[in-house]
Amino acid sequence: MYPVKISARKWKSSTTCRPCARRSCMPGSSGVTRSSFSIPVPQKNIDVPPFLGAVVPLAGELALRVADLVPDPEAEVVVHCAGRTRSIIGARLLQRMGFRNVYDLRNGTMGWGMAGLELEQGSQRLELPAPSLAGQATATAFANRVAAGDGVRMLTIPALQAMVARAHHENVYLIDVRTIAEYAQGHIPG
């Protein structure tokens, strides 16, 4: 049996914008864009379009930080990454959180460069302030709502340890989505 091919058009989750259309977001323009999120892989230096007010949270922190960075769910938000996949995922996440004017940048920073537009080389925008208590509460409420709505089951530590103990005769996949710094702060031994 062959895998089923799923068309990205069929599952389009957000409004896609062309790089040239986002030039209004650049410094010195009178564009209405309030915020732009670049979703990088965890690295120190990245290349980003020089969007006015752009911030660069890591992909896994978008839900945690968005309430502090964009308090108005009616604000226009552009989500972009190097290519496009993380842009679509980030845009869909913001839509599920209630943001109405979310765009993913077609082909990400790669598309921006192919359109002949300049990139800010080696950006250091990864340093963001700690999320506020209100931002954390918003993210927690959203995570609980999604988990309940999507049927995500929560495990206790003993239940997780029992799963790991069965790993010698069945497949068990543990995926840790924390940042390296969060992992270093503390984790289950092993």
For residue 46, the tally of other CB atoms under 10 A from its CB is: 21
In sequence order, what are the residues at sequence separation of 6 or more whose Cβ sits closer than 8 angstroms to the Cβ of residue 109?
Answer: 38, 47, 48, 49, 80, 81, 82, 119
Render pLDDT for 80-98 as a digit per residue (tens, 0 to 9). Answer: 877 778 888 888 999 999 9
- Interior CA angle at 33 toward 142 and 23, to 5°? 130
Render pLDDT for 122-163 as a digit per residue (tens, 0 to 9). Answer: 665 566 788 999 999 999 999 999 999 999 998 998 999 999
Q: How confident is the model at residue 8 (pLDDT cuts 50, 70, 90)?
A: very low
Which residue, among 141, 13, 14, 120, has the nearest Cα to 66 in the 3D structure?
Answer: 141
Q: What is the pLDDT of residue 100?
A: 86
Q: Do the Cβ atoms of 177 and 187 come closer than 8 Å?
A: no
CA gap 66, 94 in Å, rounded: 8
Render pLDDT for 26-80 as a digit per residue (tens, 0 to 9). Answer: 444 433 334 555 555 555 555 666 665 567 677 778 899 889 888 888 888 888 8
CA gap 37, 25 in Å, rounded: 12
Q: Which two tokens stand for residue 59?
A: 């992909």
pLDDT at 175 over 70: yes
Q: What does the chain come to in residues?
A: 190
Q: What is the pLDDT of residue 145?
A: 95
**What is the set of domains in the chain, with CATH numbers?**
15-139 (3.40.250.10)
Least confident of 28-37, 52-61, 100-109, 173-182: 28-37
The angle, 0 to 180 degrees and rounded to 10, between the axes of the packed helices 62-69 and 133-150 is 130
CA gap 99, 140 in Å, rounded: 17
Q: What is the pLDDT of residue 28?
A: 43
For residue 31, the tally of other CB atoms under 10 A from its CB is: 17
